[in-house]
Amino acid sequence: MDHIKRPGLAYLGKRHSSHDKKDRSISKDKHAKDSSRSSSQVKPVKLNMYMESPPALFIDPPQQSTGALISGRLQVSPVAGDVVMNSIVMYLECTTATKRPVQERCRECMTTVSDLYEWNFLSKPKTFAASAGMQELPFSHLIPGHIPSTTHGHIGSIDYSLHVRAKSTDGQETEFRRALVISRALRPGSEKHSVRIFPPTNLALQVTLPSSIHPIGDFSVLCRMTGITTKKDDTQTRWRLRKLTWRIEEKEVTVSPACAKHVGKLGGGGGNSEGKGVQHEHARDVGSNELKQGWKTDFDQGQVEGEFTAAIDSAKDPQCDVVAANGRTRISHHLIIELVIAEEWAPNKKPQQATPTGAARVLRTQFNLTVTQRSGMGISWDDEMPPMYEDVPASPPHYPSQHTTVEPYEGDDLHEDVEQLALGS
């Protein structure tokens, strides 16, 4: 999984304070254990969160995306009487995990928690009165668009969450965590045209694919194979398409980092563990089908063409394409096409009387697919900004007609003469 060192992401280039990183690195397990003790230990405040912004969606590739805006209100409710809170801090956390760690049952090798941003709501202790009821603390942030989206692969995962820690003056602490799903969508572009040649034959395959596909829904693939007929003086040999098989392969490549204690298991001695890890790969088919008809064969023109519909099986929980900035996590997809062709011989005067020669070939090729979420309107946050003040005209334009006229004011001071002005007859 993408190993992100705390307290800041290496590829964000900005560090955030994390004086309690050791405690927060086990906050998930601690939070789960504390939930069972909630009946015996009453927290001073109750925390909740209301999100005002829509789901976080990055538009365009990581190199071009401007990110996504999130905004909401942290709700603080005193439980038993007035309470004085010493600090209320919220972190935008990125949690990366791997199912194939360098050392089994080592939490440091399996999970890494890092901070993308930090909110300090209180600059000094504040009293939350019970009579005031629930109080809200607003927050907002622009998430940078080059970070990877939320991913749940077979050998690794990337998750984001908003983690709140509130501490009272008497030392009691309250935690709250809300998952934050970040998606990425690419704007639809022009179709992709690819050509594959199969030496030593004269066969060439031309394939037209959409620029991007989605985990839900199907897409069309247009194929045309040329060079299937070879004519001589009296006879001709030709290739007949017998079967077409397609499948969509999802390939996941991730690097499991080693913690400082187990970096020696990687070989090469000790030293700095930065950048060290074990690479793992996992491939699976997320869609496939077999076709034995549905194309048109023209031996005179020497070509076969047809169109078929392909789709990703949503029941297999497919993932979108992901490329981490440091290259430690990558998920890609490929469309693999296999063509089974059989050779036959026929005289030029009677081409319909074909005789199989017994020769056959299997042509196999693959094409890159870009799997992304649907972009909807495809508008990023910076394109939705309202016009600036100077862009708004001073007043609506006047459209003269026979019923309205515009006369210039010739007085000295409009504010003093306004009471004496009257409509003309």
Q: Where are the beta strands (DSSP E) in 172-217?
A: 173-180, 182-185, 192-198, 203-209
Task: State the first-to-last Cα distance of the chain, in angstroms, to the nearest integer.
Answer: 83
Least confident among 4-13, 307-316, 339-348, 388-397: 4-13
Query: Where exactly does CATH 2.60.40.640 map onto the chain?
Result: 21-185, 192-369
| Residue 414 DSSP label | H
Give the three-class secondary structure for 321. coil
Give the three-class secondary structure for 105. coil
Q: What is the Cα–Cα distance from 309 to 143, expressed in whole angstroms?
A: 37
Q: What is the CATH number of domain 192-369?
A: 2.60.40.640
Q: How confident is the model at residue 396 (pLDDT cuts 50, 70, 90)?
A: low
Q: How confident is the model at residue 309 (pLDDT cuts 50, 70, 90)?
A: very high
Check residues 39 and 259 and name the one with the higher pLDDT.
259
Q: What is the CA radius of gyration of the chain?
A: 33
Check residues 244 and 384 and name the one with the higher pLDDT.
244
Section 239-245 average pLDDT: 95
C-beta separation of 107 from 129 below 8 A: no
Determine how many CB atoms are found less than 10 A away from the CB of residue 110: 20
Q: What is the Cα–Cα distance from 103 to 107, expressed in whole angstroms?
A: 9
Tell which residue, 68, 70, 148, 145, has the closest CA to residue 382: 68
User: Which fold would CATH assign to domain 21-185?
Assistant: Immunoglobulin-like (2.60.40)
Q: What is the Cα–Cα distance from 77 to 40, expressed in whole angstroms?
A: 19
Does the structure show a pLDDT above 80 at 79? Answer: yes
Section 350-359 average pLDDT: 88
Q: What is the pLDDT of residue 29?
A: 46
Calculate the CA dihedral of residues 19, 22, 28, 32 and round it to 10 degrees.
-110
* pLDDT tens, position by position, 177-188: 999 999 999 998
Bridge-based pairing of strands 56-59 and 151-152 is unpaired
Determine how many CB atoms are found less than 10 A away from the CB of residue 192: 15
